[in-house]
Amino acid sequence: MESVREIEQWPVDNAATAVVTAAGDVLGTHGDTTKVYRLASVTKPLTAYAALIAIEEGVVELDTPAGPEGSTIRHLLAHTSGLAFNEHKAMAEPGNRRLYSNAGFEQLADALTEHSGIPFADYQAEALFQPLGMKATRLTGSPASGAESTVDDLVAFAAELQAPKLIAAETVREATSVVFPGLSGVLPGFGHQKPNDWGLGFEIRDHKSPHWTGSSSSPRTFGHFGQSGTFLWVDPDAGAACVALTDRAFGPWAAEVWPPYTDAVLAELGKLTP
């Protein structure tokens, strides 16, 4: 793919990217795909997927109480527990508002540790990273933002999201469909969105504007971006996913170059499809 070369124009010191299909075929890469980058909030989908595995293994259920009073695993995954952004204090009743919360994902990991009896980082490594061969991926800090990884490893994860082998396909469909529909809220870096739709640990594009994906991204597109200048999206309608990692903190530069890059990738994918 020629479109992946667009990252050469990004105002960053280092960047790498890849496009992978639902069949697991890597259509294009650019940059050093073995270089380890900080993921920031792209950590959250990895944490969420470990939680989904735990749910299927019977460690917890979506309705297991976790977080502040009245909150459940489902609320924590969907950013509706009412917890503040970084502080472990409730700002709203569970289910009433979409409050993006790092604290919520930390309490999610704490709940999984409590119910499994295994430190969350160990559980995640054994249940997710090792089976997918994600040898360079580590959770070295907060389960909300403390992972590091490579494009190659995230390609394996993006392929899993499109054709799951570790959990049931219907579980992934539920996780990437809107949970608690109709709730508005702030999408960090892109302002207030009405509605601000999320699944279980995955942001859902729908018709948000402005947004970090492209204008041609389908409403079913899901994924996450991180404040370390990283993103991963899956567009089911395009039958492909894209990963991009950089070493420059998110800012106006990213909001300017990411959407046209996504549109270029999708345009080229359209030409490649018979």
In this prediction, residues 231-253 reach a mean pLDDT of: 97
Q: What is the pTM of this model?
A: 0.97
Cβ within 8 Å of residue 156, ≥6 positions away: 132, 133, 134
In this prediction, residues 88-106 reach a mean pLDDT of: 96
Give me the residue spans of the domains in the chain: 3-272
Model confidence band, residue 273 (pLDDT cutoffs 50, 70, 90)? low
Provide the pLDDT for residue 272. Answer: 75
**DSSP conformation letters of 117-147:** SS-HHHHHIIIIITTTT-TT-EE-S-TTT-E
In this prediction, residues 76-98 reach a mean pLDDT of: 96
Report yes or no: 140 and 39 within 8 Å, Cβ to Cβ.
no
Residue with tokens 């999408």: 187
**DSSP conformation letters of 141-205:** S-TTT-EEE-HHHHHHHHHHHHS-SSS-HHHHHHHTS-SSTT--EEETTTEEESS--B-SSSEE-
**Residue 38: pLDDT above 70?**
yes
pLDDT tens across 155-194, in order? 999 999 999 999 999 999 999 999 999 999 999 999 999 9
Provide the pLDDT for residue 191. Answer: 93
In this prediction, residues 238-265 reach a mean pLDDT of: 97
Identify the CA nearest to 154 among candidates 251, 15, 36, 272: 36
Residue 97, exposed/middle/buried by CB under 10 A (0-12, 13-18, 19+)?
Answer: middle
pLDDT tens across 136-159, in order? 999 999 999 999 999 999 999 999
* Percentage, residues of the chain above pLDDT 90: 98
- For all residues of the chain together, what is the average pLDDT? 97
Pick the CATH number of 3-272 from 3.40.710.10, 3.90.1170.50, 3.40.50.2300, 3.30.70.270: 3.40.710.10
Provide the pLDDT for residue 45. Answer: 98
Q: How many Å apart are CA 36 and CA 149, to the nearest integer?
A: 5
**Residue 274: pLDDT above 70?**
no
Q: How many Å apart are CA 136 and CA 119, to the nearest integer?
A: 19
Provide the pLDDT for residue 271. Answer: 84
**Residue 76: pLDDT above 80?**
yes
pLDDT tens across 187-227, in order? 999 999 999 999 999 999 999 999 999 999 999 999 999 99
